[in-house]
Amino acid sequence: MSAVAPTDVRPDPPVRPEAEPDLSLREFGYQQELHRSLGRYASFAAGFSFISVLTTVFQFFAVGYAFGGPVFFWAWPAVLTGQLLVAACFAELAARYPISGAIYQWSTRLSTPSFGWFAGWIMVIGQVVVVAAAALALQMVMPPIWSGFQLIGDDPSPLSPSGAANAAVLGAVLLLLTTLVNVLDNRLMSVINRVGVTAEIIGAVLIAILLFTHSERTPGITFHTGGTEAGLLGALLVGSFTAAYVLIGFDSAGEMSEETRDPRRTAPRTVLTALGAAGVLGGLLVLGGLLAAPSLTDGRLAVDGLSYVLTSSLGDGIGRALLVDVVVAIAVATLAIQTAGCRMLFSMARDGRLPCSGLLSRVNPRTGMPTAPALVVGVLAAALLLLNFASPDAFLAIGTTCIVMLYLAYSMVTGPMLLRRLRGEYAPRTDAVDERGEPLFSLGRWGVPVNALALVYGLFMTVNLAWPRAAVYDPTGGHWYFRWFAVLFVGATVALGAAYRLRRGRTENA
């Protein structure tokens, strides 16, 4: 596979101290264009800010509780365990292939160019949906801070018509800002990520401590379903949506490999530490919210989620101050997710495998940023926000669809990886070793069982998330397309990709 088409060869960008040529990158057929300025903490911040435990827990806590009751907490450690299996596989690949467009690059090298293309295509569309979903999270925290942020109507619930419309407006403003940052300079983006992640970690720890010190009940409440009609198994399956939505995006450390110093050592560790830190903090927030909620039966926890717990249990002053920190986390998360999507588009376009590849693969030599991908991801995510004006049910449809897309793309990496292992074709790369000849990160003899469990878990969760449950996706009835939204969206994505590849094949053969 050639990295740059002969008709699209561009001179090397001016060499800066943070953009020294990387020999391992050249070995893969690419020239260093993105500025290599990210250290270990910045790499960690890329993965952690995509996960953004404050953003996602505050956004989906109410959903998990509404359908699972208190017992939905136990879905958290189950999902975390499954995702750690996937992350361990990705950590190995991050050491082998430190290239932007991680999912696309890994799947391509483990399987075939066509299969890898579809993995990248599904992933990048999924990332666009995640950007939109993250931007919608502002509705969960900004109106509780100040009623003036409710620009449309007077009902701030994201499941109400006015709340859903207002969420789209707030989200569009945020996307405008994140797109601007993604165009300016990767050093500015890195600073924002690091500062934002630091503030998020401090805020998450503080919120967890305050929630536990204001407990109203014992942890034994987590063994109750809260009277949900789905029963224990159903409560856990649907309740797992919260954890599944939170614990994605850890592969972003791999996405930023071409901008990370010493990526073979750094990226594998930050993939695992970002997920581990988010998993622990998120679990504490969920448990603390259940213990500190003023009431588990008044219905507010299933509508307003953790925002209700903070302002009710900690008082308006402290509660609103902490919600400001959540707003920062949401903004940084949206920025990080959009950045990951940009790198995926850039990586695929650099191989000439997307429409307008020449434009999408162009890097501004001064800023080190691919400008066109940032604009594309921002505009497409903003367009998805328009669904919120059609129906409040779009909130959940968009959120779960993005998880399905990412879980499917992840499985398109762990699947071929397992086949390679079983065929004995997954020998350690000689360049992914340290000075003693030891692999920088390797699962060793645990590779096959960990890989197999990661694949089974990923496929199971993909089906679980996409299952067209009427009570979840179309509770008011009359919107069959929201009930089947995940299935239809994935099908349309694959069909559109197949049509493009077929048309391109005909053009090339003409």
> For residue 439, what pLDDT is reported?
66
Res. 458: pLDDT tops 60: yes
- Whether the per-residue pLDDT at 172 is higher than 50: the answer is yes
**Alpha-helix runs per DSSP H in 137-224:** 138-145, 161-184, 186-213
Is the confidence at residue 394, as pLDDT, over 50? yes
144-155 pLDDT tens trace: 898 899 999 888
CA distance 408 to 183: 29
| Neighbour count for residue 319 (Cβ, 10 Å) | 21
Reading the block at residue 445, the tokens are 């003899």
pLDDT in tens, 291-337: 999 988 888 888 888 888 988 888 878 888 888 998 999 999 999 99
Q: Is the pLDDT of residue 429 over 80?
A: no
State residue 15's pLDDT score: 36
Q: Which of 16-20, 73-77, 259-263, 453-457 shows the lowest per-residue confidence on average (mean pLDDT)?
A: 16-20
Lowest mean pLDDT among 117-121, 165-169, 399-403: 399-403
- The residues, ordered by sequence, that sit 6+ positions from 213 with a Cβ below 8 Å of its Cβ are none
Count of Cβ atoms closer than 10 Å to residue 148 Cβ: 8
Q: 184 near 196, Cβ under 8 Å?
A: no
pLDDT over 90, % of the chain: 44
For 299-304, the CB contacts below 8 A with 24+ separation are 301/62, 301/65, 302/62, 302/65, 302/66, 303/62, 303/66, 303/157, 303/159, 304/62, 304/140, 304/144, 304/157
Q: Are 168 and 386 in contact (CB under 8 A)?
A: yes
- φ, ψ at 433 (rounded to 5°): -130, 160
Instruction: State the angle between helix axes of 447-466 and 485-509 in degrees (0 to 180), rounded to the nearest 10.
Output: 110
* Angle ∠(324,327,333) on CA atoms, nearest 5: 145
Whole-prediction pTM value?
Answer: 0.86
pLDDT band per the 50, 70, 90 thresholds, residue 364? confident
How far is residue 401's CA from residue 16's CA, in Å, rounded to a whole number? Answer: 41
pLDDT of the residue at 493: 94
pLDDT bucket at 436, cuts 50 / 70 / 90: low
| Closest by Cα among 411, 325, 423 to 52 | 325
The encoded tokens of residue 97 equal: 């292939």
More confident residue, 266 or 34: 266
Mean pLDDT score of the chain, rounded to an integer?
A: 85
Tokens of residue 355, six digits: 């429409």
Would the pLDDT of 456 be above 80? yes
